[in-house]
Amino acid sequence: MLAQKLAGRLRSLDLPRRIRIMEVCGGHTAAIYRYALHALLPDTIELLSGPGCPVCVTPNEYIDRAIAIADSHHVVLASFGDLLRVPGSHESLSQARARGCDVRVYYSSAEALDFAETQPQRNVVFLGIGFETTACTIAATMRRAIEHNVRNFKLLSAMKTMPNALRALLSSPDIRVDGLLLPGHVTAITGTSVFEFLPRDLGVACTVSGFEPLDILESIDSLAGQILAKAPRLENGYRRAVHSAGNASAQQAMRELFCETDVTWRGLGAIPQSGLTLRSEFAEWDAAQYRIAAQHGHEHPACRCGDILRGHTRPQECPLFGSACTPESPLGACMVSSEGACAAVYQFANTHEARELHHA
């Protein structure tokens, strides 16, 4: 009932033009399609998916490098399950495992470290991807590995941080976004203050949102109100989990273990100081020490994942969507993860409608 009331309120807004709201977090994208929230909104409010799925923004080159390390150094690759099906330039981790690479799935970095401690004769490389939410847990694992002197456990980092990525995205002249649903989980770690530059410097309305349907509708209502009043600001719609200063212990753990570095994002290119890598004093635990041939990753030429992550293209507009590229046989990373826009649309959107759009 409350959702209908909120939806009715949004439909009654006298918006002078169509507004574009980007959900930064893949968890928001999945919830929007799972509960069909977009169907409750008026045509004057358009929702766009953004770069908030860590699997999706990790370029193929990272998969290529992990497989090359496994091939040339015969290590155990420890990974989250989602990563196995992400296409590399030539094969996925799953395909590499099928031809003999030792690739093992763990639910956490700590489980992978447990395995390494029981197998001191094997070198274990943990593939570390994720944003601040995951990075703090990996920091805790690496601190344990270092304190226990587990030298056969190493980290291949593709961890990323969100503030500079959003600055780069919104500073692009071809991106038009009026409001952001900021990621609740990331902001629970970072705090809200790191995103204050978005309305102040870039004039974009911002609301931190939780993941329940009512959270998201209330946050969209907050953003629409800011846009209508032409008064962009940073609001916190997830106060039960997010505070201005964030989680100080988690931030300290990341500062102790990691330093910021320039990294490449799928669809966004190279973004300065938007990645996390082990500090130089911990180089012995850094899988970057493995020498391999230079990797020049490439993606499927027809895949539109990069455009989707920048809000340029809807998943249904990709020529591969639902035909050559499906969750069972993904050709792009956005079709792999449960937080990927293509996977969410494929699973939850009206399939008939989606296929009509695809073939239109």
pLDDT tens digits for range 336-350: 988 899 999 999 875
* DSSP code at position 287: G
Q: Closest Cα partner for 337 from 131, 77, 8, 80?
A: 80
Band of the pLDDT at 168, cuts 50, 70, 90? very high
CB 232 within 8 A of CB 199: yes
Question: What are the tens digits of pLDDT across the range 319-337?
Answer: 999 999 999 999 999 999 8
Residue 264, H or E segment: strand 258-265
Q: Closest Cα partner for 195 from 184, 143, 29?
A: 184
Band of the pLDDT at 355, cuts 50, 70, 90? very low
| Residue owning tokens 């690496």 | 142
- Per DSSP bridges, beta strands 205-209 and 234-236 are parallel
pLDDT at 9 over 70: yes
User: Strand, helix or coil at 66?
Assistant: helix
Instruction: Quote the pLDDT of residue 358.
Output: 44
What is the pLDDT of the chain when averaged over all its residues?
Answer: 93
Instruction: Quote the pLDDT of residue 204.
Output: 97
> What tokens does 233 get?
């600001």
Which residues make Cβ contacts (< 8 Å) with residue 288, sequence separation at least 6?
156, 157, 277
Which residues make Cβ contacts (< 8 Å) with residue 113, sequence separation at least 6?
124, 126, 141, 144, 145, 150, 153
Task: Fill in the amino acid letter for 116.
Answer: A
What gap in Å lies between CA 264 and CA 298, rounded to an integer? 13
Band of the pLDDT at 258, cuts 50, 70, 90? very high
The dihedral region occupied by 162, where left means phi > 0, alpha psi between -120 and 50, and beta the remainder, is: alpha
> What tokens does 77 get?
């690759």
The rounded radius of gyration (Å) of the Cα atoms in the chain is 21
pLDDT at 359 over 90: no
CA distances from residue 237 to 78, 162, 215 in whole angstroms, order as listed: 36, 18, 7
Instruction: Quote the pLDDT of residue 141.
Output: 98
CA distances from residue 270 to 75, 157, 165, 213 in whole angstroms, order as listed: 29, 16, 9, 34
Q: What is the 3-state secondary structure (H, E, C) of 175-209?
A: CCCCEEEEEHHHHHHHCCHHHCHHHHHHCCEEEEE
| Residue owning tokens 């690479």 | 101
Instruction: Quote the pLDDT of residue 296.
Output: 75
CB 164 within 8 A of CB 274: yes
Question: What are the tens digits of pLDDT across the range 170-226?
Answer: 999 989 999 999 999 999 999 999 999 999 999 999 999 999 999 999 999 999 999
CA distances from residue 28 to 35, 44, 180, 300, 354 in whole angstroms, order as listed: 11, 20, 11, 27, 20
Question: What are the tens digits of pLDDT across the range 66-86?
Answer: 999 999 998 999 999 999 999
Instruction: Quote the pLDDT of residue 15.
Output: 85
pLDDT at 294 over 70: no
**Phi (first) and psi of residue 255, to 5 degrees:** -65, -35
Q: Closest Cα partner for 250 from 141, 106, 90?
A: 141
What gap in Å lies between CA 195 and CA 166, rounded to an integer? 9
Question: What are the tens digits of pLDDT across the range 89-108?
Answer: 999 999 999 999 999 999 99
Mean pLDDT, rounded, for 15-26: 92
**Phi (first) and psi of residue 326, to 5 degrees:** -135, 165
What gap in Å lies between CA 182 and CA 192, rounded to an integer? 9
What gap in Å lies between CA 247 and CA 250, rounded to an integer? 5
